Chain A
Amino acid sequence: MNTLNAQRSTLHAPVDYLLHLADNALVLGQRNAEWCGHGPVLEEDIALANNSLDLIGQARLLYQHAAAQIGQGATEDTLAYFRDVPDFKNYTLCELPHLPLMSATASGDRDFATTIARNFLYSALMVLVWDQLQSSQDEQLAAIAAKSLKEARYHLRHSRDWLVRLGDGTDESHGRSQAAIDALMPYTREFWVNSPQEQAAQANGTGLDVSTLQTDWNAIVDAALSEATLKRPGESAFVPTGKQGVHSEHLGFVLAEMQSLARQHPGATW
């Protein structure tokens, strides 16, 4: 190993930055898993479960990497199951229910157009994020990014394909997908404001400046919306704060369902 590599391998992304990336994947993976057994058709049911397993797999790798730096008995399980709402650093977008109305409970009715629109907006961002993180100074994060990029590309392809079909489909599917885009688009404003953990990661060469991704993201989103005959809503002043630990009321329901088993039976194995 030469000196350059020796130096590189000692660099780690800040723990909070790894948790931000991991929490996005875990919370959205948990959300999409709510479709398991309820998909509109069998094939789509499997596709959404595949998507969830990809995301939960990404979360596991990131939690393991973070746990190794935290030490003190931290594991991927303690990070996923024994942290509370304010500790989670995911985008608010990832925790919202599968409904355009912001009044549903965690297990309420599911609207497929909302699921698709959210997966589209998120994966359009993550193909750009993972692509850049492939050259992170944190070698392990770079390797996770290379693996995740392939998965994110398929998630983008899958959700974009459906968004165009629904938007350019029947009156019903067009109306639902437009409502989903209208409801979710404001939550993407959080993407472009660097959080303290993103700034720290950028400063030590393990992260990136998220604000530089906006132009490319706009191009992906606008092209798909135009093909789907959907209108992009105007910008609103609201900027969500999920990645700083200040969440909507919905994350508590998601965590309650996801964490209850591990908290009732700590250390359970099967």
Chain B
Amino acid sequence: MSTTALKEWPLWEVFVRSKQGLEHKHCGSLHASDAQHALQMARDVYTRRQEGVSIWVVQSSAIAASEPNDKNEFFEPASDKVYRHPTFYEIPEEVGHM
């Protein structure tokens, strides 16, 4: 395998929506020269066992990600606020199943 291509071709993240699935799920990444190329490669690599009916690709560099170091200030403060889950309401019987 040539490593030149991997250096020159940008990395793409691949999202596939399965037949039953409502949303696209991240399933991996690959190197490709452009979006069209990435879609075709994703088709060949990630959907050959009937995994999907729709593919999204996005250049990895376009994704802004939170820093692992920010974990405490980003995510910890939510841990003691259980009231944010809508589990404290009594639903009237007339409403039925929600």
Contact = CB atoms under 8 A, between A and B. Distances in A.
Given A42-B1, A43-B31, A47-B44, 8 more contacts: A40-B1, A40-B2, A44-B41, A46-B44, A46-B45, A154-B43, A157-B40, A165-B33
B81 interface: no
A41 B31 CA distance: 9
Range of interface residues on chain B?
A: 10 to 19
B37 A50 contact: no
Contact of B45 (A40, A43, A157): A43
Contacts of B30: 42-43
Given A47-B41, A47-B44, A41 B5 contact: yes
Given A39-B1, A40-B5, A41-B2, A158 B48 contact: no
A39 to B, nearest CB: 7
Interface residues of A, number: 15
A156 B91 CA distance: 57
Interface of B: 1-2, 5-6, 9, 30-33, 36-37, 40-41, 43-45, 48
A161 B36 CA distance: 9
Interface of A: 39-47, 50, 154, 157-158, 161, 165
A44 B9 CA distance: 13
Contacts of A45: 1
A46 B2 CA distance: 15
Nearest to B32: A43
A50 B30 CA distance: 17
